[in-house]
Chain A
Amino acid sequence: MSRRRLTPGATAALLGLPVAFISYFFVYPLTAIFWRGLTATGTLSFDPFLDVLTSPSLRGVAWFTVWQALVSTLLTLAVGMPTAYVFARFRFRGRALLRGLSIVPFVLPTLVVGTAFLTLIGPNGALGIDLRGTVWAILIAHVFYNYAIVVRGVGSFWEQIDPRLEEAARVLGASPWRTFTRVTFPLLRPAVLASASLIFLLSFTSFGVVLILGDLAHTTLEVEIWRQTTAFLRLDVAAALAVLQLVGVGVLLVVYGRTSARRSRELPLQAGDTARPPRTRGQRLFVWTTVTFMMLFLGIPIAVLVVRSLRPAGGFGIDNYVGLFTATDSAFFVTAPEAMTNSLLFAFAALVIAVVIGVLAAVSSAYSSSRIAAMIDSGLMLPLGASAVTIGFGFLVALDEPIDLRTSIMLIPIAHALVAIPFVIRTSLPVMRSVQQRLRDAAAVLGAGPLRVWREVDLPIVARAIGVGAAFAFAISLGEFGATAFIVRPGNATMPVAIFRLLSLPGATNFGRAMALSVILMVLTGASVMFIDRLRRGTGGDI
């Protein structure tokens, strides 16, 4: 299988910006804070590593971290694949809306989701079951958050696989299940692995969910690193834990990178929309059941928030919303329009950074024969697996020379982009690798230079996947993922920060307004993502 390869020079040119970015904003700060931690006693010491490795409680924490991330990933895949299938193959009323909405949980601050969950599954909970403090609460919350990755990531790739392959299998005698195992899944595997890797990393470094829904018996490395840093300022222990965490993630990523590159193959990918309305009774039932489940699973916690937001101090009504827009009680609260504007601006900046860098990296990884390019691609995934606490502190320690960026407002979208870039890569890379060389050759013979070939052949097919990644990047930024909790922010508050502040004081108004702002955040996210979805359908001809 021949594939047009980039020259080493071209590869280097494409990788220049991503490498520079990841070196300066990730490798350098991380190295700096690790160094700081390991030289805390005055000389470089590896004792903290020994302390960590020999501590049974910390080993237990490490094991739990891996275990819950693995189970969360499997559960999310199990729950999300049927939904991905429905969205990929069937057209039905509300499809675009629901696909956009599935990403909404992604952006909700963990404090808000935790609160909603606790009210549902607590001793008084509406659902009647007490899961408080159990590992199930954490797992279900992870599925809730990461559902969209499967539905949108795997779903969009699935959509681009020619349905006639599945139909051919059916006519040749394969039952629907055998069609899935023998034909569909082998073709889908790159996208499934990509989504699985993202979900695993997010669950692995999950902080807020574990902090709020977990308990003393169920804690992860990330929480432990935070505890060691914030409560004890034991930078040495924290550094040791963070290094171990990173090494573990790094090994996984290398393995993943090797397997995914080796197994990638060309697929006849469609640029257009292959979904059709369900026609048989069986299909209708399946679509209806899956969509209903999705609406309930995602909708009930969200409904809790909406209901709570409509209960201001006085009873029932929209006072909380009105208050958010008009109240100037004190400078404690930033008004909703301000917070929304700030959030949107940061999200836009993060999207641009993430898409530019992510696409450059994905392109060089997909089209280069260089082993290094594949490694860079895995390297760019590392921020997802690295401790947000250490990255945040790393910025402070490292970024003071030659230019003092430590209190720069740009650090916020940069921190978001660090988390978002892996999403852009993971959604676009499987598709890029699958574009048929035949199509590119045809274009080249017709007189298109390499860049033109890419634009005319690959881009329309890949654009949709890039759009999925871009939507995630936008949502990640709106939801303030990653290291932003641990960097120093100049005054401009974003919505999650405003929500957090509201929840740090008692009072029905505060709580109600926090819920209302969360609802606004959800609506804003849903609307933005649907807008991005629609944009990419308008580009590249008949996408």
Chain B
Amino acid sequence: MIRSMALALATVSIVASCTSADSQPAEIVLLTHDSFAVSDATLAAFTEETGVAVRVLRSGDAGTMVNQAILTADNPIADVLFGVDNTFLSRAVAAGVFSRYRSPALDTVDVTFHVEGDMVTPIDYGDVCVNYDRAAFDESVIPIPAQLADLADPVYAGRFVVQNPATSSPGLAFLLSTIGTFGEGDDYNWKDYWTDLFANDVHVTSGWSEAYYTVFSGGSGEGSRPLVVSYASSPPAEVYFGELDESPTGVIAVGCFRQIEYAGVLAGTKNEAFARKLIDFMLSPTFQQDIPLNMFVFPANREAALPDVFIAHVTPPIDPIVMEPARIEENRERWIEEWTELAR
């Protein structure tokens, strides 16, 4: 089988190299992570519009995906990369993974999402916030925390679960949120905050699934702690995937971290023109309106309509923390190591 595949591939590559860069390829390849999802209808719409099919390659989690793109930067395996977020952006750009492109549709996106240099295009965003179990707080006298600092209060001892920033994307986002909130100064800084959290018996898991499903008590979680680091889109997801009327969980709107997800044309692609078309398409209303119920993040295109379940059950975050990708890249390793020291 390998031999016939090799033969086929050899033939295709010979044929492909004989054609000019502007001619129409049969397909373009999208490299993304495992959480990527859109309806078949949406991808089909792209094919109808342009005549080119989209082949999706999945890479596991976002970190793995970025590393794969970097490792293959000189001979890319795809035409477009989707799913690099602000925590990994600097690294990917510095490694020369992308080819510059400014999409005309970028005007529909909030200026704060734009990236200097236009190496990538923002497609969607999500907010990592602390979620709480409504039923647990209804039944108890303890008030719902209003902000991150509250969680250090002994009254919340043993009630909070977070994820390891070294192994989890929302875990890292929450860490960055605390750094953004408390800063690195000499006064009460993020390290003091975390020291207090650990003294408060915060539980650390390695991934989101374990934290949410086995330690968190709210919604579909089966654990015992009513506070968890999750997403602003988790309450509508509970409603949507639980066929409920009310969301069983709520979101602490202060202290959220904004994760922006980007797509970019991979440098060295042989289908630059159509790769750009795909980026444009990703900002189009068709694609953007498909995002919420498939990936449970928010469309970057301001004009895209949100589904009802989002409108009804999302608590909009207040002043979410946004951090410069460059700053994240510079300090990430040190921050994680320092956090790990505190955690031991």
Contacts and interface: CB of A to CB of B under 8 A. Distances in A.
Interface of A: 36, 111, 114-115, 118-119, 122-124, 211-212, 214-217, 223, 226-227, 229-234, 313-314, 329-332, 349, 393, 396-397, 400, 403-408, 410, 485-486, 488-491, 497, 500-501, 503-511
Contacts of A410: 1-2, 5
A490 B164 contact: no
B209 A503 contact: yes
B336 interface: yes
B179 interface: no
B6 A403 contact: yes
B209 A393 contact: no
A403 to B, nearest CB: 5
B206 A212 contact: yes
B34 A504 contact: yes
Contact of A407 (B29, B204, B344): B29
B315 to A, nearest CB: 15
A111 B242 CA distance: 21
Contacts of A217: 344
Interface stretch (B18-26, B220-228, B319-327): B220-228
A503 B207 CA distance: 11
Contacts, number: 174
Nearest to B41: A331
B287 interface: no
Interface in B175-219: 204-210, 212-215, 219
A390 B261 CA distance: 26
User: Can you list the 4 inter-chain pairs with the closest CB atoms, starting with the nearest?
Assistant: A507-B241, A332-B37, A230-B63, A509-B241
28 contacts: A111-B207, A118-B214, A122-B224, A212-B207, A212-B210, A215-B204, A231-B167, A231-B333, A313-B241, A313-B244, A330-B293, A330-B294, A331-B37, A331-B40, A331-B43, A396-B72, A397-B72, A400-B72, A489-B58, A489-B59, A503-B209, A506-B221, A507-B240, A507-B241, A508-B220, A508-B241, A509-B242, A510-B237
A485 B65 CA distance: 11
A233 B237 contact: no
B210 A115 contact: yes
Contacts of A403: 6, 9-10
B91 A216 contact: no
B45 to A, nearest CB: 13
B226 to A, nearest CB: 13
Given A119-B222, A211-B207, A506 B39 contact: no
Contacts of A406: 72, 77
Contacts of A486: 60, 64
B67 A233 contact: yes
A234 B333 CA distance: 10
B237 A506 contact: yes
Nearest to B92: A233
B71 interface: yes
A505 B206 contact: no
A216 B164 contact: yes
Nearest to B164: A216
Given A396-B68, A407-B77, A408-B5, A506 B210 contact: no
Interface string B32-76: 001101111011000000000001111111011011101110010
A480 B74 CA distance: 29
A330 B340 CA distance: 39
B238 interface: yes
B332 A232 contact: yes
Given A212-B206, A403-B9, A488-B68, A231 B63 contact: yes
Contacts of B206: 211-212, 214
A511 B294 contact: no
Contacts of B40: 331
A212 B344 CA distance: 17
A327 B29 CA distance: 27
Given A410-B2, A501-B34, A115 B213 contact: yes
B55 A491 contact: yes
Given A393-B67, A393-B68, A396-B71, 13 more contacts: A331-B38, A396-B68, A396-B77, A485-B60, A488-B58, A488-B68, A490-B57, A491-B57, A503-B213, A506-B219, A506-B234, A506-B249, A507-B240
B173 interface: no
A233 B31 CA distance: 19
B58 to A, nearest CB: 5
B57 A216 contact: no
Contacts of A230: 61, 63-64, 67
Among A114, A403, A503, the one with the most B-chain Cβ atoms within 10 Å of its Cβ is: A403
B157 interface: no
A119 B213 CA distance: 9
A488 B59 contact: yes
A331 B222 CA distance: 27
A314 B59 contact: no
B224 A216 contact: no
Contacts of A214: 206
Contacts of B344: 216-217
A481 to B, nearest CB: 15
Contacts of A503: 209, 213
Contacts of B336: 231-232
A39 to B, nearest CB: 13
Given A330-B293, A485-B60, A229 B223 contact: no
Contacts of B121: none
B68 to A, nearest CB: 6
Contacts of A232: 332-333, 336
A381 B37 CA distance: 38
B224 A124 contact: yes
Nearest to B63: A230
A216 B343 contact: yes
Contacts of B55: 490-491
Interface in B220-260: 220-224, 230, 234, 237-238, 240-244, 249
B304 interface: no
Contacts of B306: none
Contacts of B67: 229-230, 233, 393
A226 B63 CA distance: 10
B37 A404 contact: no
A491 B40 CA distance: 12
A36 B71 CA distance: 9
B243 A407 contact: no
B210 A114 contact: yes
Among B5, B59, B209, B344, the one with the most A-chain Cβ atoms within 10 Å of its Cβ is: B209
B166 interface: yes
A440 B60 CA distance: 51
Given A488-B58, A506-B219, A314 B243 contact: yes
Contacts of B294: 330-332
A122 B203 CA distance: 12
Contact of B57 (A407, A485, A500): A407
A491 B209 contact: no
Contacts of A489: 57-59
Contacts of B204: 215-216
B310 interface: no
A407 B38 CA distance: 21
B234 A231 contact: no
A332 B294 CA distance: 6
B296 interface: yes
A413 B55 CA distance: 20
A500 B35 CA distance: 10
B36 to A, nearest CB: 9
